[in-house]
Amino acid sequence: MIDKSIKILVVDDFPTMRRIVRNLLKELEFLNVDEAEDGAAGIEKLRGGNFGFVVSDWNMPNMDGLTMLQTIRADPELAKLPVLMVTAEAKKENIIAAAQAGANGYVVKPFTAATLEEKITKIFEKLQKEAA
Amino acid sequence: MTHAALEPAEHGNTAEELLGRIGQLTRQLREGLRELGLDKQVAKAAQAIPDARDRLGYIASMTERAAHRALNAIDLAQPLQEDLASNAKGLSRRWDEWFANPVELDHARQLVMDTRGYLQDVPQKAGAINTQLIEILMAQDFQDLTGQVIKKMMEVVNDVETQLLQVLIDNSHLDKHAEKRHEAEASSLQNGPQVVPGNPEAVTGQAQVDDLLESLGF
């Protein structure tokens, strides 16, 4: 069973997309959700924020999602944090770059509620298997 | 350019002379454009047009799709909503009647059964309405996708503007900055949504993302 009280950070520069993801998470009974408008603000919230999961866009001002992911993986305190990329970037080199940087999942926009649920479930199942 | 060519002819106005004059003017105009660097600027601005057209087409189809999704969801949700309201109204009226004259036991039993049925029906109908609300929510994803494309469009418009302004500011030099910016963009990892389907370097949906990651062992 997934712990639904886990704290989730949604990072996207478009407020509408943050609201969509937040509402979908609520539909999946994840109620402990916070938001950040770019990678830099995201990192700031993540440090000491006790987050258990990150859903991030790629193309953002200040710090993009890939740089944020690399920063997370390079930070001993945050390195193991699961990160799901949700982005309109559909080029194969993007998907490969995200996977190599340590993304736990990649969802291409436009996406469905079912896809988001499936990826989140898959990530948590894999993490539980690894922890067991 | 000299103004000599624009002065009216003092001597005879024969067709031959006129043609010669027009030819001379055309040559001067073409040379003037080349000297100003205008021909290249115009060509560059023209190159931006098909790209801008593709982007506008993408925005038009995404916004149309979103509007249809929302309207379709409303069409599905409204009858469910109306059912809930009218059935509640009907039951409520029957209960009012019974309270006004609480005698007929058989009639009351049927009313209790119907009310029970209604209460069982509500969560299922509310769930179906909620499914449509989620559909309306998801339809709003167009704002992010078209927003990214509009931002790119604004860069293109800005580039064209810069190039045309450059013609006015500096008559003999090309805008090297705009040229460099275009080159840098070509190899970027931040391209936003794919506005034209069929790019072999991009995936067309989530299934292809999953296949690619799986083939790489992720």
Q: How far is A48 from chain B (nearest CA, A)?
A: 29
Chain B residue with CA closest to A12: the answer is B144
Q: For B192, phi and psi rounded to 5 degrees?
A: 70, -170
Residue B12 located in a structural domain:
no
A6-123: which CATH number, 3.30.70.20, 3.40.50.2300, 3.30.230.10, 3.40.50.620?
3.40.50.2300
- Biggest alpha carbon–alpha carbon distance for chain A: 39
> Is the Cβ–Cβ distance between B124 and A88 less than 8 Å?
no
User: pLDDT tens-digit profile of B3-25?
Assistant: 444 444 455 568 888 888 888 88
Asked if B202 and A16 come within 8 Å (Cβ–Cβ), the reply is no
Asked if A17 and B144 come within 8 Å (Cβ–Cβ), the reply is yes
Which residues, 6 or more positions from B5, have their beta carbon under 8 angstroms from its beta carbon? B21, B24, B25, B28
Question: How far is Cα B164 from Cα B135, in angstroms, rounded to an integer?
Answer: 45
A90: contact with B, CB 8 A cutoff? yes
In chain A, domain spans: 6-123
Structural domain including B206 reads 38-179+193-215
- How many domains would you assign to chain B? 1
Q: How far is A30 from chain B (nearest CA, A)?
A: 15
- Cα A7 to the center of its chain, rounded Å: 11
Which secondary structure element, helix H or strand E, spans residue B162, and what is its range?
Answer: helix B142-169
Question: How far is Cα B166 from Cα B154, in angstroms, rounded to an integer?
Answer: 18
Which residues, 6 or more positions from A119, have their beta carbon under 8 angstroms from its beta carbon? A84, A105, A107
Question: How far is Cα A73 from Cα A102, in angstroms, rounded to an integer?
Answer: 7
Strand ranges (DSSP E) for A4-82? 8-11, 33-36, 53-56
- For residue A8, give the 3-state DSSP assignment: strand
Q: For A106, phi and psi rounded to 5 degrees?
A: -140, 115
Residue B2 located in a structural domain:
no
Mean pLDDT (10-residue bins), chain A, 132 residues: 90 93 91 96 95 96 96 96 96 95 95 92 89 80
Q: Please give the radius of gyration of chain A, using alpha carbons only, rounded to the nearest integer.
A: 13
Going from the C-alpha of A8 to that of each of A18, A22, A43, B59, the distances in angstroms are 12, 9, 13, 31
Question: How far is Cα A95 from Cα A89, in angstroms, rounded to an integer?
Answer: 8
Chain B residue with CA closest to A91: the answer is B202
Residue B187 located in a structural domain:
no
Question: How far is Cα A54 from Cα A66, in angstroms, rounded to an integer?
Answer: 13
Question: Which CATH number goes with the domain that contains B75?
Answer: 1.10.287.500
Question: How far is Cα B22 from Cα B187, in angstroms, rounded to an integer?
Answer: 47
Contacts of A35 in chain B (CB under 8 A): none
* Predicted pLDDT at B9: 46
Helices (H) and strands (E) in chain B, counts: 6, 0
Asked if A92 and B201 come within 8 Å (Cβ–Cβ), the reply is yes
Strand ranges (DSSP E) for A6-97? 8-11, 33-36, 53-56, 83-87
Q: How far is B73 from chain A (nearest CA, A)?
A: 15
Contacts of B203 in chain A (CB under 8 A): 90-92, 95, 108
Peptide bond into A110 cis (omega under 30): yes
pLDDT of chain B along its 218 residues, tens only? 444 444 444 555 688 888 888 888 888 777 777 776 667 767 777 777 788 888 899 999 999 999 999 999 999 999 999 999 999 999 999 999 988 988 777 778 899 999 999 999 999 999 999 999 999 999 999 999 999 999 888 888 888 888 777 777 765 444 455 555 555 555 588 888 888 888 888 998 899 999 999 888 88
Residue B27 located in a structural domain:
no
Optimal mutation site among A10, A12, A13, A16, interface B, most CBs of chain B within 10 A:
A16
Number of CB pairs, chain A paired with chain B, less than 8 A apart = 89
Chain A residue with CA closest to B141: the answer is A17
Optimal mutation site among A38, A57, A58, A89, interface B, most CBs of chain B within 10 A:
A89
